[in-house]
Each structure stands twice: as C-alpha cells, then as structure tokens.
Structure 1
C-alpha cells in the first residue's frame, strides 16, 4: 500500500493500465543527472506513459517532491499556468495559506516576477522538487508556452535542486542552442522512444498471448519490426489489435500476413468512417469539455455506458485517465488536438443543443473542478450571461493576463449584451480603464453599470446586492457622484460585515467580498465619513486574518494610517503603520503602486516630524504611478506642504497649481477639492500672502471647518476682523477631527491677536497643547509666526499655566515658524467689479474681450483697469497679476472661469488622468 506521501506524489499522474510496457532503458535515461529532460515526439509514442512509469517507479529519495502538471485547455496564459503550479505547491504543503495568497498576488499583476516567485518558494522548501509537465508546447509559434519555458530555464539556473521533465509534440525554445549554452539538457525524440525489437516482442506476448509457442510468431515479429515508422507505441497496439481480431475470427489460418491484415483493416475503417458511429458521436459530444469524468460524460452524451466508452477511447490512444486529489473522481483527458478536431466536427441538431452542452460543462468545471476561467468561457458559449456574472464574482480577482484574455472574449460580443448585465459591464470597464488606450471606452460601461445596477439590485440575494453596491460605489466615486456613492457604501457596509464574520459564508466569494469592503471604505473616506471608513478598514483587517491574506491586512492598516494622518491623529497613524509587516507585502507590490497608501501616510508622518526631505523622498517612489493613483489629491497636498516646510513655498504653490490644473475635472470629488483648497490657502500663508476666498466652484460642497477657519484669516488680513468671528464660530462648530480643531485654534490665535473682540488667547494655547499631546499633531504649527508663538506662550504663562507653556514650547521648537498672515495694510481692497476684471485679466490681455464678457463699454474697462493697477501698484498686466497672486487675490488651484457642475450629474468626457485605475 502506498504511503500518504507517495499517494500525494502520484496525484494527477495518469493511471497506468495492467498492460503497460516496461521500458527500463528509457527509465534509466530519465534518472540521469540533467536538470532538464525534454521528451519531444509525435502523439502515440508513449511520452505520457513513460513519465507516469517513472513517477511511480522512482523513489522519492531520488526525485524529491513530485509535481505533475498536465496541460489544460482552461489555462490560457503564462500567469494562469503558474497560478496552477502554486496551487499544487500549496496542496503538497510547500506553501502555507498566508504565503500562497501573498505569492499569487505577487504574480497576478506582474507576470515578470514569476521566476523569482517560484524560486523563492522552492528555496524556502529547501528540498529536491521535480516538475513533470505533460503535453507542453503548441503548434502555434510563440504564445504563453514560450514564456513558461523561459521561466523554467531561469528557475533551473537559480535553484540547483530543482528538476524538470517536459513532454510535448512540438519543439519549444527549450531545445534551442541558446538554452543548451546555459543549461544541461537531455532531449529524447521519436527515435529514442521508438520500440526496440525486445520491447515489440514483450508487447506481442502481452497483447496476443495466443501466439506464444506458435510457429507463426517469428514471422509476425519480423513484420512488426520491419518498418521503423510503425514502431510507435500507439501504432503497434493498433496493429496488435488487428492481429488479435484476426486470430479470434480465423484461429487456424496458416498464413498470417500482417501487412495484408493492416491494409484490410484500414480500408474497413475508412469505409465505415470511423467504423463505430456510436463511439464517434460520444467522442464529439464529450470532447466539447477539456476534461470529463464519468458523470459528466453521461450527462453530455445521455449514455449509461459512458465509462465503458471512455475505457475504449483510452485503449485507442485517444487520451488518458488522470488521478485527482483524494476523494475526487478520476477524469479523462483527451489528446489536445484530437479533442479540438472532434469538438469542431460536432454538428448539433440545433444551436440550442450546443448551448445546453456548454452550459452543462460550465457548471461542471466551476462546481466540480473549480476551473472558473474555463467555466466562464463555456458559459459565454452557452450565452448564459447571468452565469458569467455569477462566475466572475466567484473568481475574483483574476490575474491580469487572464483578465485581458477574458476581456478579449467579451469584446467579441455585442456591446449591448454586456450593457444589460451590471457586474459584467463593471468588470469590463475596470479592465478597459487600466490602459490609456481603452479608457475612453470604459466610461460607457461604467455608466451602464451604475444605471442598470440600480434597476436590478432588488432582484438578487442580499449579499450579492451588497457586494455589487460596494463595488458600484467606486463607479459613482469615479463619476464624481458624491451623494450616490456614499449612500451605496453605507447601505452595503452592514451586510458586508455580517457576511465577513459568518463562518457559513460562501468561501468562493471571499475575493470579491474583500474588494467590496475595500472599495466601500475608500468611498466613505472620500465622502469625509472618517468614522465609517475606519470601521470598514478594521473589518477588512479582521477578514484578512480570517482568510489568511496577510497582504490585505497590510492594506487595511495602511489605509487606517492614512485616515488617521489626514484627520490629524498622528499617534494612531504611527500605531497603524507599526502593524504593517513588510514581509507580508507581495514582492511585486513594493513598486510604489500597491503600497502607495502606506507611502503617503508615512510622508504625512515625516511632515509632522519636520522631516520634509524624508517626505519628498518617500513620495518620489510614486512618480512612475502618479497618473493612475486615485489619491493624487493627498499626494499633491503633502508634497506641496513638504516643499514649503523645506523653505520653498513658492515651488510648493506652483506644484499644487500645476497638478490641480492637470488632474482636476468635473468629476473631482468635493472632499478632494477642499483638501487642495486648504493646502493652497496654507501655502499662501507660508509664502507671506493671504489665503484666497473660497472659490465659487465648490459652493455646493459642505462647509469644511478648515475652509471656514482659513476664510476667517482672509477677511482678517483684508482688515475686517468683525467678519472673521462668524467664520471662526462656524469652523469651531464644524470641527470634528484633530486637524480641523488644530487649524481652527491656530486661526483663533491670529484673530485673537489682531482683533479687539476679547478672544481668550491662552484658551487657544491649551487647545493646541491638547492636540499636540494627545494626537502628536504638530505640522500645522508652521502657520504660527515667531510673534504668534511668543504671544501664545506669554498668554499661557500670564494665566498661570507654566507647565502647559513649557510643553507647548517644546512642541513649537520642533516645527520652524512661518511668516504668518499678511498684515491688512498689504492687502489691496478691491471692489466686486475690480475682482471680476482681475479674474478676466488672468485669461486675456485684450480689453475688448473683457468688455464683451462683462457687457460694458471699452472705456469702462479702461477706467476699471486704471483703478485696479493703482491699488496693486502696478503699471503692466504682468505686474498686476504677480502682485495679485502674492496678495492671495487669485486662487492658483482654481483657475478663473472654471465652474464645477453638480456633483451627482454623470458626464461622458472625463479626462483620462482623473480616472484612476481600480485594482484588487
């Protein structure tokens, strides 16, 4: 009886029949020292049988752990092939759950990391491993097999204890002179696999025992071995079958002319075409599937003797039985090209019959074999789009190569058919959105996914509906529909949480459930609902632990760190960053795209520690991916503030203005605009200017605490302290985060110092100290000038709060002071009409155009320009614009003349740059 280890080694190895021919000489060749052995010969030469014999006969001590990898028609890409190999490694215990998901994620998006990933797995195992690849290669040039072969060579060069045996009909790059120059390779061709006379003799005795001792045996043996081209194993077995039949029907015939018997048998076979119509029909129907077990063969053919017919086809050399994992039924795999020819030859009585067959195959592949991608292809052939959607949800996330392959299949369908199915439209849109070339086509599918998803959401199970709502919230986010996205996310989150914590959940949905939770959290973050976003990320972290996907736990903690950093709780942000285990990041995720959120969070922490150089160095890793990262507004804000903290506020302003002009569109969310506007206002203060008034472009957005506080500084600098108090009060009422409270308190310090309204300067000092002590939030202190700091510390000391003053002084010493808000005397007071003229002056130097747009005369414009130039102390347009920008009278992040449409109105012409790529 086989040991459990030996039985595991023989999983997927073809089953050997009792009549298998011993071939000790060839088995000895396979035992040789070459790390790579190639069996390349036509069909019927016994390649698969030989490898199976070797797998069974060779001791584990000699070959190490064995991995049999058969070619499957469900595999279409290089990544898909190696995903299957990783799955086999995991099944054999070479990969733990945690490592499996990490390594799969590593190669899913970046196929070029495959060799390094497989080498890492083998080296961690540390013991000899032999890969047996059956039916490798393709008649077509190139394709994914060439890439797989290149991977194999690289792996064998780097891992000395790995070995590979490859069997196939077609030459591959493995036999090229280039590969021979770098690797020791043994190639066995048809000549090596041809039967020797001794083997023919053995086979004759096994197949036709009646000839033993018969004087005719010598003549028959001579005829069998006379023609070298007939020495293929399959040809020999067919010849022996004809001979056995002749002996059964004419046992006493003296003359056994084998050549004559074979010619007669061939003519009979050709005349019958193919001789057994029942077997031929059975073959054509069952060959529609890449693999069949007995039950599926019965379902497809309607024949109760399906097992017998499959056995007959095995004897004819049409394919072989494969062992599956313990507890699973063996499956029959047709020879690849025979299957394709037989399937193409099938002519169903009606198209509906063919669709029915493919539907049955799709369900079997998904439910019995777990081959989701192959199942999706058959569901597409069955035109069962609901099943395609069902399978897509349960196969998420697909590797990038498989996703592109499936996308090509979808592109062959009429677009209207995809538009009718929201999840299919959404998935197709996300694939198209990854490339700038196809992004324009993606938008129409995003829109249909959003529209049809609303209509059909009530007709599906609650969990499926919540998953769709969570992912569709991302669609509405990209469309700039802030209210719709938040509503969808809030409705989805409780159901997603219940499902993630349900031990009886459908485990096939784990991948897309994780994505739905993540997208819901991102949506809530951009909806400024930080509390709900934190809950969603904590749920993601718990769920990642449950399903052993440690890299997704890292993702959750990185996002938590960013939420805390943006809201101003630096202590909590650092704690979340400390929970990230760098070893759990897939290697291909360390490029600056997948770990972008962690990088941004660390940049904010560096800014808070007055280390702008470190922040800029961290952010530089994102430069190659900046055009496709959704969090571009946060990157822009922290980078511009780091430049200012480095002593380059003008450069920070220029970067913010340029990036915002390039990336902003009618779909940019209000929360992103508010962050950019707040950063622009702070940069103006750090440059010694005045923050501009809140632009009309975001008048529909909720009033943010920071914007109200910064607007108070604007009117204060313009010499109207009485208008600053209501704005400051609104800021204090709206402040919900540590950052909001800090900016409001700093604004309060400015107002208290520059007005006679009796504001408590010491009280603001205590508020600031509470925030620096409780949340370690310090970077906004740069908005306090040296004079502001002295006044603040003096007020605390005078009120008897010496300890608070000492602690605050220590905090202030860690952040260099800024120049403070400009004094009122430096800010020109412009009339409303002069502001309009100034805005248009930034767009054109033609006075006639300004007059036409304001519906006034040319003389009126000239008079207004004279007044404007006088107030600005300028004599030219260029001087006027420069001084207006310095005084904060033009807002660099919101170009004149640009109006923002309603946030929930869909648009069709969004610029590519503001349509970020959405991944797992």
Structure 2
C-alpha cells in the first residue's frame, strides 16, 4: 500500500506526501486567509499520509480540522489495520491498489491490446501505471519493456544500492550476500520503491517493476550473472524457493530450477502455478530430458488445465524417459516409480499405476535420512501420489498405509488434509462409515487455509463427507460438501467419484432425467483418460441413472468385464434383474467378492429381490434378514435406492427416497419350447395333472417347468403369467408358428 501510494503521489502535481510527525506542521487552513474568512481550495488537492497507524491523537485532531476547513481536499492514509482509524462516518477502506490478473486482462482488452495478459501482469507486478505503459507496446521484448517501465519510475535506486535491482526478489540474507545491510529493505519500502509479499515459507521483498527497470538502465552491472547466482545460492540456503526459482528462470539455469522444485515441492506449484507455467513453457522439451523433476512439475501444471492434457502427457513421458536414463540415487529411483504411477493413472494406461505405486511406496520407505533431506519437499508427495493410484486400483490397505505415511512425514497442510481425506474416503466408499468418522472428525476439527479446504487437496475429504451424509439422508449437507469442490469438476482427477456421488444425490431427490443429461454432458467433456476402474464407475453410474430414468433396456448395456470391482458386478446383476434375466442375475451375484459392507448389502438386497420375483419366497427370507442386519449394523441405506416400492416392502426398512418406477413391459422374455407348451396349457385352464398326461411327463416335471416359466416372466400366479404373456406378445407369437 505504501509503495503504491508513493508511486502515485510522485506523479501527481496536486498531491502532497506527509510522513507521521509532520502532520501538525501542516496548517488546517491557508495562512494567507483570515481565520474567520471564507475557506478556498489550495493547490494540495490530495494529501497522502504514510504509516497512519502511528499517528498521535493530536495528529488525528489536526486531520479532522483539515477535513472540516478544506472540504475539497481528499485525504489518503496508509494503515495496516482499520482499527487504527478513529470512527468516521464517511471513511472508505481500500484493501488493494494493485491490479488483479482479471483487472489487467480487462484493461488490456479496453485498449485493444493483443499482448498476453498473464505475461503483462507478471512483468508489471500489477502496478497500474506499469500496466498502462506496457499496454501501448506491440511486443513484450524484455529490453523494450524495461525501457518503457523505466520511464514510469518516479526515481531509480541510488548507485550505492543499485545492486538490489539485479535479483528478481530480495530477502535479508540475499541483501547481505550482495554486500548490503538488511535495513536497506526497510528504507526502500518507506521510499515507496517496493513491498513485501507473503510466500508460503518465506517473506520476499519486491522492487516495483518501474523502479527496478529504471535502476537497471541507470546503473548497469557487467557482473549481473554472478550477482544473480549469489542471490540464488542465498535463496536456496534460506529455503526461499520462489526467489530461487525466479533466479533460475532469469539465468536459464536448470540446476537451480531443479533444486528449487525439489525443495519447494507441491506448495510451490500450487501457490505460484501461473508464474511457473509461464516460465516453464519457455524451456525447450529436449532440454528437460536430463531434468525429470522439471518436466514433472511442468506436466502437473499443464494437467491442471483441461485444454493442455495432451501436452501434460508429453511432459510426463519426458520425465519418465529422463528418470529411466538418469535414476541412480535411491531418491531418483523412488521418484521414477512414482512418476510412472502418476503417468499411468492420469492417462488410463496399463494397470492405472498400481504396481508402480506399490514399488514407489517400497522405495520411499527405504530412503535414508540423507536421501529424505535431499528430497525434503517431495517425500510427502511421493507417498500421496502412490496412495491415490492404489486407491483407484482397489488396493485399499496399501492405499491407507501410503496416506498415513504421507501424513506422518509432511508438515504441509495440503498433504495432511489430503491424507485425512484419503483414508476417510477409502472407508466411506466401502460402506464402513464408523471407520471413516474419526478421520473426517479429525480433519474437520483443524483450522485449514480457505484455499486448501476448498482446493484439490480437500477433494477426497469432501467425497467422504458427502457419502456419509447421503447414507444418513442429510442431503443438504451432502450437497454442500460436493459444492465446496465442484468448481474443480472440469480439472480434478477425482471427478468420476464426485460425479457418481452427485448422481446418487440426484437419485435421492428424484431428479432422474435431469441428472442423466447433466452426467452425460460432463462425461463427454472430460473424456476417457483415467484409470480403468474410474471408467467402469462412470459406466455403472450411467446405467443406474438410465434405469431410474425409465429405460431398463439401455441400462442393461452394462456388461461384466475382467477385473471389475464388486460394485460393478452388482450393477450388472441389477440390470439383468430388471430385464427379467433372474438366473443370470443370480449367477453374476455369486461371483461378487464380499469384502466390503456396501457390496455385501447391495448383493444381499438384489439376491433377495431376484429370489422373490422368481417365486422362491422361502429362499428369499433368510437373505432379506441378512440384508436388514447389514443395513442396521453399518447404517447404510442407498442399497435400497434403485428398487420399486413393492421390492422395498420386502425388507421392512424405512427408505425416505422416491421409489423406482420401472416399466418392464417392453422386456422380451426368452422361453424354451417346453416352457411355451406349459404356457399355452395354462391359458385353457388345464390342471397340472392334465398337462402332465398330455406331455407324457410326471406332475413334478410340470411343476418344475411352471416355476421356471414364472421366474422368467417375473410373476407369482397363473393369472399374472397369462397377463404378462399377453403384454409380451408371447401367445401371439405361438399363434403364428
């Protein structure tokens, strides 16, 4: 704020800058006029007062006098806290005088400038005067930009301090490494030459773009490269990774960039993504083959932008090639395995990164203390990315272990929150809500930065919360949890889980058709580059929505595939049941692993309904009791969601959601020749004994064939069988034989 006000006031003829301690020396009225005479406006149209937090009560009284006696004079004050200002009715607080990126973009558009807004914002620092000057250029050639910015500066640094304009950023240690005293930064700030910015791990001082440009032109340094290298070394020793990587970019030094990325890890990418992406995009691909960490960072930044997914895949491939040809240290071997896992997961190739993830965890476990110190900013990320690959690969226990390791080795809020959410999601999605609860509670009890709690690292936690809320029929809370991270649905890799839970929520609310159309649109936009398990989850979700929307025939397009998760097989069996394929449904259910509560309940529910529909009431009853027991033990209810009202009545469980209304009249039932004969005999009122004599078989054989016929038709009596046969056209088909 101080710097911006100083910059502005220096360029305005009608502005007067006053420092604390000199306010009382400024007259409340023009001395040339009588005290009781009319007050006229003087030449000082604006008074700017710096560090107003330090004003005394007497100075505030003088300001009040000035406001009363000079009504046309505007007063601008720089304060760190609004509580430093006495209560005044018409005071207005302005929190940021710099352009945001959006404001820079809007300004360039208003000037019909074709310059890249991101690049302009970076080189100008958002300083309005600098943005205005650059907007008149046709190109962002560095020498030209520096010349234009230099002309906007109210002053350059004195030659004795001109060395401070060589690095991109400054810290006390960097200033000392350049031969200056640390207090020079306080002086520079008070002079309006720059300001402090808060980085995630170390505060940095930035000279304004105009002052820096003016100083570099006025006092060029033939040893600039050497000075920058000294600054980079000081940044690295200090752990000021943003400053280090900025010098690496300026020097085009890949070793410095590599060291900064290894030290800064994911926070550096998350906090400064646009800045890093702008500069990384200028590095040629062939140069990155020897620097896989830089290629990986570039890939992750590109992957966060949907339109650059193919470019991200290319960068991941470059990183992989680089590591395979270079990996020699234990840390590089672990990193190689993790990159391979991430590559396979994001591109949906191989096993989705499962085996590479297991290998990455094992190699990271074996790192020595020295190796861990070398990759201090990466160790938590290595465990975390392996855990996500294992989660999507169905390796729940190894995934939980990797999430817990990530949490134990990292102090970064993002990794800790992601780890809490990961373990909670594993349990919640499996239907073990009780096991998920302590992880959700622990995460919810902590205070997180808002950018972390609503960002990528919170996705799995909100997925777990939404799942629990839906099972508890707290639909508003579930929707709020999903909405917290829904703004990332077009970019996050967790979008299949988010979309699946949103679909379940819509089914609970009875929004069948709208949900199906919305889901199909999202799936088309996002494409199919994802682990196979997530593709199959989307297939299952679409089948469920299609069934709810009243199209059981299309829902039955879900077919079993080798390696399917148990939940997919349950979905296949459900589609078969609504097609009247009861034997097929039971056969599919018999192959479902019973490892997870959610799957055990869903399997039992469907098995009971199928047995009931085929007329095996006696066999259905123990399965009904088993389903009720699982539901009550784990507090699960969504397994009953995709059932008709008649089917739900079997379980005597209160289900608060709208029952399914599935028209199965269009389902074509396939009968054997003997079943057709039995069906025709039923229509003329023949008894079992009469049919048996006519067919020359025993009554028990007829009864068995009749039961098979009833199962296929989904009925329980002769009258229902005849009605269903007529609606299906089965008797008409026989008449034409």
Q: Shorter-normalised TM-score: what interval?
A: 0.5 to 0.7
For structure 2, list consecutive stretches of 5 or more residues without a partner in the other structure: 1-17, 25-50, 57-79, 81-95, 103-120, 132-149, 189-206, 672-727, 729-737
Name the structure 2 match of 1:723: 584
Name the structure 2 match of 1:227: none
The separation in 1 between residues aligned to 2:167 and 2:521, in whole angstroms, is: 57
In structure 2, relative to structure 1, the CA distance for the partners of 1:684 and 1:761 (3 Å cut) is farther
Name the structure 2 match of 1:385: 254
Q: Deviations over 1:34-57 (max 9, x none)?
A: 9xxxxxxxxxxxxxxxxxxxx9xx
Q: Deviations over 1:451-497 (max 9, x none)?
A: 4334433x2x2234324533553332221125251122111123445
Q: Aligned to 1:629, what secondary structure does the other structure show? A: coil
Name the structure 1 match of 2:222: 346
Matched, 1:368 2:234: no
Contact 1:711–1:727 under 8 Å retained in 2? yes
Name the structure 2 match of 1:404: 274
Name the structure 2 match of 1:413: 283
Matched, 1:480 2:348: yes
The separation in 2 between residues aligned to 1:528 and 1:782, in whole angstroms, is: 24
Q: How does 1:474-553 map to 2 (within 5 A)?
A: 474-483=342-351, 485-497=353-365, 506=372, 509-544=375-410, 547=411, 549-550=412-413, 552-553=415-416
Name the structure 1 match of 2:113: none
Q: Aligned to 1:703, what secondary structure does the other structure show? A: coil
Matched, 1:780 2:639: yes
Name the structure 2 match of 1:711: 572
Aligned partner of 1:679 among 535, 541, 551: 541
Q: Aligned to 2:668, what secondary structure does the other structure show? A: coil
The separation in 1 between residues aligned to 2:163 and 2:661, in whole angstroms, is: 83
The separation in 1 between residues aligned to 2:548 and 2:158, in whole angstroms, is: 84
In structure 2, relative to structure 1, the CA distance for the partners of 1:723 and 1:443 (3 Å cut) is closer
Q: Deviations over 1:105-147 (max 9, x none)?
A: xx9xx9899xxxxxxxxxxxxxxxxxxxxxxxxxx99822738
The separation in 2 between residues aligned to 1:588 and 1:776, in whole angstroms, is: 33
Name the structure 1 match of 2:679: none
Name the structure 2 match of 1:562: 425
Aligned partner of 1:466 among 334, 349, 356: 334
The separation in 2 between residues aligned to 1:343 and 1:445, in whole angstroms, is: 40
In structure 2, relative to structure 1, the CA distance for the partners of 1:431 and 1:673 (3 Å cut) is closer
In structure 2, relative to structure 1, the CA distance for the partners of 1:770 and 1:558 (3 Å cut) is same
TM-score, with structure 2 as normaliser? 0.60
In structure 2, relative to structure 1, the CA distance for the partners of 1:456 and 1:745 (3 Å cut) is farther
Q: CA deviation at 1:360?
A: 5.5
Q: CA deviation at 1:404?
A: 3.2
Q: CA deviation at 1:383?
A: 5.7
Contact 1:596–1:622 under 8 Å retained in 2? yes
In structure 2, relative to structure 1, the CA distance for the partners of 1:758 and 1:383 (3 Å cut) is same
The separation in 2 between residues aligned to 1:716 and 1:506, in whole angstroms, is: 54
In structure 2, relative to structure 1, the CA distance for the partners of 1:635 and 1:405 (3 Å cut) is closer
In structure 2, relative to structure 1, the CA distance for the partners of 1:495 and 1:33 (3 Å cut) is farther
Q: How does 1:433-448 map to 2 (within 5 A)?
A: 433-435=303-305, 438-439=308-309, 441-448=311-318
Matched, 1:763 2:625: no
Matched, 1:572 2:435: yes
Name the structure 1 match of 2:654: 813
Q: CA deviation at 1:730?
A: 0.6
The separation in 1 between residues aligned to 2:473 and 2:578, in whole angstroms, is: 27
Contact 1:284–1:346 under 8 Å retained in 2? no
Contact 1:778–1:815 under 8 Å retained in 2? no
Q: Deviations over 1:699-725 (max 9, x none)?
A: 4x5133233233334444444433333
Contact 1:419–1:449 under 8 Å retained in 2? yes
Name the structure 2 match of 1:690: 552
Name the structure 1 match of 2:613: 754
Higher relative contact order structure (alpha carbons within 8 Å, sequence separation ≥ 6): 1
Name the structure 1 match of 2:467: 604
The separation in 1 between residues aligned to 2:169 and 2:474, in whole angstroms, is: 59
Contact 2:232–2:243 under 8 Å retained in 1? no
The separation in 2 between residues aligned to 1:529 and 1:741, in whole angstroms, is: 18
Contact 1:486–1:523 under 8 Å retained in 2? yes
Q: CA RMSD in A?
A: 5.5
Q: How does 1:781-796 map to 2 (within 5 A)?
A: 781-792=640-651
Contact 2:510–2:658 under 8 Å retained in 1? no
In structure 2, relative to structure 1, the CA distance for the partners of 1:343 and 1:434 (3 Å cut) is farther
Q: Aligned to 2:473, what secondary structure does the other structure show? A: coil
In structure 2, relative to structure 1, the CA distance for the partners of 1:814 and 1:504 (3 Å cut) is farther
Aligned residues: 542
Contact 1:681–1:691 under 8 Å retained in 2? no
In structure 2, relative to structure 1, the CA distance for the partners of 1:171 and 1:587 (3 Å cut) is farther
The separation in 1 between residues aligned to 2:404 and 2:283, in whole angstroms, is: 40
Q: CA deviation at 1:450?
A: 3.3
Contact 1:476–1:485 under 8 Å retained in 2? yes
Q: CA deviation at 1:629?
A: 2.6
Name the structure 2 match of 1:903: none
Q: CA deviation at 1:749?
A: 0.9
The separation in 1 between residues aligned to 2:385 and 2:173, in whole angstroms, is: 43
Contact 1:604–1:615 under 8 Å retained in 2? yes
Q: Deviations over 1:373-419 (max 9, x none)?
A: 44335545666534432321112222667443343333333332124
The separation in 1 between residues aligned to 2:236 and 2:122, in whole angstroms, is: 34
TM-score, with structure 1 as normaliser? 0.49
Q: CA deviation at 1:633?
A: 1.5
In structure 2, relative to structure 1, the CA distance for the partners of 1:431 and 1:677 (3 Å cut) is closer
In structure 2, relative to structure 1, the CA distance for the partners of 1:771 and 1:427 (3 Å cut) is same
Name the structure 1 match of 2:668: 828
The separation in 2 between residues aligned to 1:585 and 1:291, in whole angstroms, is: 29
Name the structure 2 match of 1:629: 492
In structure 2, relative to structure 1, the CA distance for the partners of 1:644 and 1:467 (3 Å cut) is same
Contact 2:248–2:257 under 8 Å retained in 1? yes
